[in-house]
Structure formats: structure tokens, C-alpha cells
Amino acid sequence: MERQRVVRRSTNDWRVTACRAICVIAAVLLGHAASSDGPPAATAPTTDRVGFPKDYRTRFKVLGVIVKEQALRVSTVYGNELAATVTSRDKLPYPEGSIILVEFTDALRDANNQPVRDANGTLQRGAVDHIDVMKRGKDFGEAYGANRTGEWEYAGYRLDGSYTTPPEKSGQCAACHRTAGPENDFVFRMKAAPARM
């Protein structure tokens, strides 16, 4: 009897193991089929109408600085002359040709790898990691489909002009900027802006 129980147990163990294996294989196959039939990737433009804004630090105005103490990151928001004219929500929408960019940098470090701060204790920006750029233009944004954010298009660049986010991958940018809302012309900095200045 003892031997029968052992055999049955090992037979049952084998069945359980086989059943688990079949379930895992089925889950993988079903997951693959679901991901193949899932929602299509975000649509986006195929050509770059944003353009890398060379010399933005000298040609554009600083619109704001975001310091992330915990991450030791400093992000600087720049705008071209047209974008800089919009200082409150009552001046929206941004004029055609407006360019807004965010420059992402790590905090500047000293010889001992400690963050460098100014006289007020604010982190100082170090080397630029990348810039994200948005540009408003006539008939821009149509390629984003359901994620269209007015007439804005997006791209991300390194300082050498190569892409971090090419136009065809910028659907995620449009989807994110939709959360800023049409009442803010899909620009996050306007969410914090006063109605009038």
C-alpha cells in the first residue's frame, strides 16, 4: 500500500507539473497573441518639422528652472521670442512658430563629486544630457491622431543634434502633453501660470 501511495503521489506530481507547464505555455502564447492584437503603437509624424534649435542658450529666453533635489537634476525651460510672449493663460494659444524646450542636466559636481550650489544653496546645472523640444506650426500635430495636442509637434535631441526621441517615436510626447489640457494649450508650464499677470 505504501508503494501505491508513492506511485500515485509521483504520478499526481507529474500531472501537476505537466499541467503547470501547459498553463505557462498557454499563457505565453495567449500573451503573445494579445500583444499582437493589442492597440497599435502611437502614431506620430515621420518627418522632423521641429528642428534642433542650435544656439538656444543664447537665442532663447529662460522661462523657468526646475530643480529636483532628490535626483540631483536641473531642468531649464527655454522659449523662443514668440513663446516668451505668452506669460499667462489669457494670452493663449501660443503663436504659430513658438518653440519651447526643456534642457535636462545633472547637477554640477566638484572635484570631490559633491553637488555644486550657488550662494542661495540652489543646485547648479552640469553637462546637458538632452533637450526635449516642442514646436507649434500651422497644421502641425495631425499625425498624432487621437493624441493630437493642438498644433504642436515634438522631438528630443542630444547637443550634437542627433535624436533621443525621433519624430516617429514622439507619439509618447503628444500623449503625455494631452494631460496638460487644451485649456493650457497642452503646455505644462501654463498649468501653474496665472490667468492674468
pLDDT for res 190? 76
Fold assignment, 56-191: Chalcone isomerase (3.50.70)
* 13: pLDDT strictly greater than 90: no
| Mean pLDDT along residues 17-25 | 44
pLDDT 10s digits, 139-179: 999 999 999 999 999 999 999 999 999 999 999 999 999 99
Retrieve residue 119's grid coordinates: 550662494
% of the chain surpassing 70 pLDDT:
76
* 18: pLDDT strictly greater than 60: no
22 burial level (CB within 10 Å; 0-12, 13-18, 19+): exposed
Residue pair 151/140 in contact by the 8 Å Cβ criterion: yes
Taking the domains of the chain in order of start, what are their residue ranges?
A: 1-38, 56-191
pLDDT for res 110? 95
Residue pair 148/173 in contact by the 8 Å Cβ criterion: no
pLDDT for res 38? 43
Residue pair 67/83 in contact by the 8 Å Cβ criterion: no
Q: Per DSSP, which regions of 86-179 are E strands?
A: 99-107, 125-136, 152-157, 163-165
pLDDT for res 103? 98
pLDDT 10s digits, 32-55: 433 444 444 579 999 999 999 999
Euclidean distance between the first and the last CA atom of the chain, given in angstroms as a whole number: 90
